[in-house]
Amino acid sequence: MSFTDKLSHYLKLSEEKGIIDSSQKKEIIALVESESSGVGFMKILSVIGAICVGIGVILIISSNWSEFPKFIKLVLSIMIPIISLGIGYFFTYVQSELKILGNAFTLLGGILIGATIALIGQIYNFDGTVGSLLLMWFILSLPLVFVFKLKTLAVLSTALFYSVIFYYTTEGIFIGWQNEKYILAVFAVISGVMTIASYLLSQILDGKYSYLITPVGIISLKILFLILFVGTMDDWFMFLGESFGAVLSHNILFLGVVGGTMWWANKNHEILLRHTTFIWIGIYIFAKYIELFSGYLQAGIFFIVTGLFIIGLVYSFIKINTFLNKNNTTS
């Protein structure tokens, strides 16, 4: 549960128990939201600034790149991410009030590792592939997550992990997009296993390593949603088969995973996860059935029924949420 979700939950309980009144609750929420929005904006600016500095340095070096001997090229290639990571470490742990800048330069260092690998390969004409570059980048970036405990680095490492799987699935085993069903099945299994493993580890470790486990779990879950959703749209992507039973299984599997996630998010007061997951139901309904209605009358009836269905879902979740909150208050 995120800090905002926890705060909202406990403020509501405090209001119900008479510890604070409604106006105090609103003032606290407004204060936290204003502080959070300011910090978020500064984080975005810091990342943009750090990336601009990195691009500028690379462009300046590139202007004289052909004149440097191989050894100088090697030293420069290695030092660029090290300097960025060093600045990030200094701002994060030495000048802790500048931690936002430290996080930005740390993320930049993680990104520059990929550029360094590519440059070294170019300098010495290594016979590598995109997959080997991504794999080496992932291996070198993963330890940084544990050193800096930064979620954005965890997001980068997770993206590299799935990119490596994608590359070797499409190029290392099969060529091109001729085996979509196999690729989707592989991604569905891996993302599902990673999602479940992330949840179990978060429970076992009780919040430890959350800077890594949480991003891995969220990204894996979103990939799983996407894969299962695509599998409901066309026979070409249905990795369970093309029979009526397989088509039905695809749709049940997607709705079951989405519905189960919403139930868990609602039960554990994960408001953001619940809302973002709920969007998938709307996307599914719109994309799955809109093409079946060609006339205005049929389309109008469809949208009315769909709207009432969504309103009913919202009403049901509000009631369930109220019921759970009352039980938590009494227990």
3-state SS string over 143-177?
Answer: HHHHHHCCHHHHHHHHHHHHHHHHHHHHHHHCCCC
User: Does residue 147 form part of some domain?
Assistant: yes
Q: What mean pLDDT is predicted for residues 146-160?
A: 92
- The candidate with the shortest Cα–Cα distance to 104, out of 66, 148, 51, is 51
H-type alpha helices, 90-150: 99-123, 130-148
Report if residue 196 sits inside a domain: no
Residue-level pLDDT at 309 = 74
**Which pLDDT does position 163 carry in this prediction?**
92
Cβ–Cβ contacts within 10 Å for residue 270, how many? 20
Domain that holds residue 64: 1-165
The reported pLDDT for the residue numbered 109 is 92
Q: What angle do CA 74, 112, 217 make, to 5 degrees?
A: 140
Mean pLDDT is lowest, of 8-22, 33-47, 302-316, for 33-47
* 18 found inside a domain: yes
The pLDDT, as a whole number, for residue 172 is 55
- Specify the DSSP class assigned to residue 237: G
Q: Considering the chain, what is the average pLDDT of its residues?
A: 78
Task: Answer whether 25's CB lies under 8 Å from 11's CB.
Answer: yes
pLDDT confidence bin for 194, thresholds 50/70/90: very high
Does residue 58 lie in a domain region?
Answer: yes
Cα–Cα distance measured from residue 158 to residue 149, given in angstroms and rounded to the nearest whole number: 14
Q: Is residue 302 part of a domain?
A: no
DSSP 278-321: HHHHHHHHHHHHGGG--SHHHHHHHHHHHHHHHHHHHHHHHHHH
Residues contacting 220, CB < 8 A, separation 6+: 158, 190, 191, 192, 194, 195, 198
pLDDT score of 175 = 47
Six-digit token pair at 25?
Answer: 């609750």
Indicate whether 170 belongs to any domain.
no
- What would the pLDDT profile of 242-262 be if each residue is shown by its tens digit? 666 667 777 888 888 888 888
117 has pLDDT over 50: yes
Q: How far apart are CA 325 and CA 331, in angstroms?
A: 10
| 297 token code pair | 């009358």
CB 241 within 8 A of CB 293: no
Residue 43 lies in a domain: yes
Confidence at 61, pLDDT banded by 50, 70, 90: confident
Of residues 25 and 221, more confidently modeled: 221
The dihedral formed by the CA atoms of 322, 327, 328 and 330, expressed in degrees to the nearest 10: 120
Q: Is residue 1 part of a domain?
A: yes
Which residue has better confidence, 205 or 126?
205
**Type of residue numbered 219:** I
N-term to C-term CA, the chain: 20
Number of structural domains found in the chain: 1
* Average pLDDT of the segment spanning 130-152: 91
Residue 194 near residue 216, CB atoms below 8 Å? yes
